[in-house]
Amino acid sequence: MFTLKPSFIPGCHEVLPRVMNDTRGSFVKVFHADAFRELGLSTEFTEEYYSHSRKDVIRGMHFQTPPADHIKMVYCVQGEVFDVVLDLRVGSPTYGQAATFTLSAEAGNYLYIPKGLAHGFCAVSETATLVYKVSTVYSPENDSGILWSSVKVDWPTETPILSERDARFNPFSEFESPFTYE
């Protein structure tokens, strides 16, 4: 039902579902509790939301600190995004490293992101809609981020559109991580 394509960051996987196409369009199953359990993935999602962005919008690099840290699953249902995860787990063999992915509605692929990773993306199509499933409810006092431009990534825009909040995050070099690798 699903193929896991592990990234070089431990616990972070690109998930490749079966995409069924016919003359009507396409159909994609993104979640199945039993199949996820068999793959060793969490099935406990408590909140779901989506963002709609125009080309060159960068959202991120976001995360929640303990005890409200969460597993996140993200997928693009319209358009295409350049997606980035950053390992913030002290003791991880990939601490401070970023992995990048292309997520698109056409491909139907998505990311399974473990606790302790920051997440962000850049919309590369004219518009893009990204859906997020998370394992904890949003907690304003635990909401945080890393400055997107301090992550060693070749972002696909020279004219980024950012929120004031995202533009004010501290750089990774000033970050003191509350996360540990297990």
At 50-108, the pLDDT tens digits run 999 999 999 999 999 999 999 999 999 999 999 999 999 999 999 999 999 999 999 99
In a domain? residue 179: no
154: three-class secondary structure by DSSP: coil
In a domain? residue 135: yes
H helix intervals, the chain? 33-38, 164-168
Q: Going by DSSP bridges, is the β-strand pair 127-134/72-78 parallel, antiparallel, or unpaired?
A: antiparallel
Residue 57's CATH number: 2.60.120.10
Contact residues for 127 (Cβ-Cβ < 8 A; gap 6+): 52, 53, 54, 55, 78, 79
Q: CA–CA separation, 174 vs 146, rounded Å? A: 9
At 109-164, the pLDDT tens digits run 999 999 999 999 999 999 999 999 999 999 999 999 999 999 999 999 999 999 99
**182, pLDDT greater than 90:** no
Q: Where in the sequence numbering do the catalytic residues fall?
A: 62, 132
10 Å CB burial of residue 163 (0-12, 13-18, 19+) is: exposed
Q: CA–CA separation, 114 vs 102, rounded Å? A: 18
Q: CA–CA separation, 53 vs 57, rounded Å? A: 6
In a domain? residue 182: no
Number of structural domains, the chain?
A: 1
Point out which residues pair with 159 in neighbouring strands.
none
The residue range of the domain holding 142 is 2-174
What's the predicted TM-score (pTM) here? 0.95
180: three-class secondary structure by DSSP: strand
In a domain? residue 181: no
